Amino acid sequence: MTISTLIIGKNGKTGRRVEERLIAAGQETRAVSRSTSPAFDWLSPDNWLEAMQGCTRAYVCFQPDLAVPNAQAAIAEFIRQAKIAGIKHIVLLSGRGEEGAQQAEKILINSGLDWNVVRASWFSQNFSEGFLIDGILSGQVALPSGDIPEPFIDVDDIADVAFACLTQQSLVNQVFEVTGPEALTFNDCVKIIANVTQRDIQFMPISAKTFLSALAEQGLPEEVLWLMNELFTVVMDGRNRNPQNGVEKALGRPATSFYDYATKAFASGVWTLPTPAAENN
């Protein structure tokens, strides 16, 4: 029987990379999100079974975050339908220090399916592919919690660990708490990126209230505002400051440093500012 891997989050930072690794290894994949056919939307459980058909294992990246109040119910329903579809093994991307995420992990661990939890720290790629890229490009990153250290992880490491979990039977039924090798503040990260890009980029500490008001003005959905408040005022209190060895445990090699991530991101051109000539075209 062909083993096909369902990937929830085709266009996401980790899902895209997990799919690349499986395809490079000659494996069948079905990577889905709201914009694929079949489509997968966490808000439309009636359509999940269609996406699951023919798959025997799954990489699951929930949206927007396992910390949100409806996440546990969604994961429980996903597992119920996965069993009907014949999925035998689920690798769940989770977050650290979040009560809701821990509950969702427990639901999977007790499901009777083969499982893995890849419990990740904040992604380094938030600075190059996520909500912090605009600040990097504009030269000013304004955030609350500037002095709380966090061991940011390179999502290429997360994808390597998820791929290993999906393809190596010896890793099944384990939690891998994956972080970068060093705890850095947002301010430290901005300084490293400024150094790598040779640009003047400043970190500006602001209050959580100012930060959330700015997000609200951008028209972000209520759920995302709730999440940002939770992440910056509750979870980002230093509880996650200690690096963990999940990358080494799964892969037998150290996690990528933030400096190496920044060097790689810079080389990809993602932080290259448009030249005036290009802007006029």
Ligand X SMILES: NC(=O)c1ccc[n+]([C@@H]2O[C@H](COP(=O)([O-])OP(=O)(O)OC[C@H]3O[C@@H](n4cnc5c(N)ncnc54)[C@H](OP(=O)(O)O)[C@@H]3O)[C@@H](O)[C@H]2O)c1
Region of residue 172 (phi > 0: left; psi between -120 and 50: alpha; otherwise: beta): beta
Q: Which of 4, 7, 9, 230 binds ligand X (CB under 6 A)?
A: 9
- The nearer residue to ligand X, 62 or 176, going by C-beta atoms, is 62
State the Cα–Cα distance between residues 278 and 221, nearest whole angstrom: 33
Tokens linked to 84:
């009907």
- The nearer residue to ligand X, 126 or 274, going by C-beta atoms, is 126
For position 97 contacting ligand X by CB under 6 A, the verdict is no
Q: Which of 27, 47, 103, 126 binds ligand X (CB under 6 A)?
A: 126
Q: Which of 20, 41, 77, 114 binds ligand X (CB under 6 A)?
A: 41
Q: Which of 78, 91, 95, 177 binds ligand X (CB under 6 A)?
A: 95
State the Cα–Cα distance between residues 27 and 125, nearest whole angstrom: 26
Determine the straight-line distance between the first and last CA of the chain, rounded to whole angstroms.
52
Q: Is the peptide bond before 64 cis (omega within 30 degrees of 0)?
A: yes
Q: Which of 6, 12, 30, 59 binds ligand X (CB under 6 A)?
A: 12
Tokens linked to 150:
């966090």
Helices (H) then strands (E): counts for the chain: 12, 8
For position 11 contacting ligand X by CB under 6 A, the verdict is yes
Q: How far is the CB of 66 from ligand X (least distance, A)?
A: 5
Q: Which of 120, 166, 183, 265 binds ligand X (CB under 6 A)?
A: 120
Q: Which of 79, 93, 136, 255 binds ligand X (CB under 6 A)?
A: 93
For position 65 contacting ligand X by CB under 6 A, the verdict is yes
Contacting residues for 193 by C-beta, under 8 A, at least 6 apart: 127, 136, 201, 262, 266, 271
Q: Which of 122, 118, 124 is nearest to 161 (CA)?
A: 118
State the Cα–Cα distance between residues 109 and 132, nearest whole angstrom: 33
For position 272 contacting ligand X by CB under 6 A, the verdict is no
- The nearer residue to ligand X, 11 or 268, going by C-beta atoms, is 11
Q: Which of 4, 5, 29, 33 binds ligand X (CB under 6 A)?
A: 33
Q: Which of 130, 7, 120 is nearest to 61 (CA)?
A: 7
Total interface residues for ligand X by CB under 6 A: 24
Q: How far is the CB of 171 from ligand X (least distance, A)?
A: 19
Site of interaction with ligand X (CB under 6 A): 9, 11-14, 33-35, 40-43, 61-63, 65-66, 93, 95, 120, 122-123, 126, 130
